[in-house]
Structure 1
């Protein structure tokens, strides 16, 4: 069974342009989330240990969550920068590393959703349906982006293979 691939990105864009678009969007969203969560970590950090936080430690919990999201988005920022460097330099090994890292994150997030579903929901059926639709949309778009980057990698790899070893005269 062959690795699935596509021949062009949506909106009639080539794979290279689509991969650049994915890289720039990944970079922008990661940077925005990192800044947003850092601002909230600073805001909640000021309230940790105060009288308002003494009872239920809500601000401490939100501070830890904000810091974790900031670190996670910084890792995504590095992944997006790696993708852009790989695309602009046509470096197939970096593209392959990006694909494997994103696949690992994809599988981990799907497993997290499935495990959290196993413990049951505490919301209504319509909220579950809306969360399901949002999840399918998010994971579908993410899978398509990973597929696009992998297809661009396959295209680069095939052109590298076509060049072959350097020719020497005997």
Structure 2
């Protein structure tokens, strides 16, 4: 990975950590709206953004999660699995909207891992945790789509990883 990609991913990780920290009161638990998850959409523009997002997830969970190592394993794992699935699902002909909808769907479905964590660690009902975590994820990813499209027009996300 070249210096430009490393710096860009470091900025993405820092943004993820900062957004999670500022909104930590609503970023964890069965009912969560993790605003920083909007950065998951970056992977549609270039798969190399996954490194920054994954680093951000790891650091944010390390510093802000009350579930400690469990959130490092399950949260990081959920994000990694989602990105691996998306790498296979994204097609060059996908529109921004289609790519972002794929991202939303995959991240919502993989919230099953977060629900499993909440069931195992906090003994919360699995189905309730899955539905509420997936709902929060869907809200954040759908609401952030216009913002990410606008920022892409201003910044050109794909070009930042070239």
The alignment's TM-score, normalised by the length of structure 1, stands at 0.29
- Structure showing greater Rg: 1
The alignment's TM-score, normalised by the length of structure 2, stands at 0.30
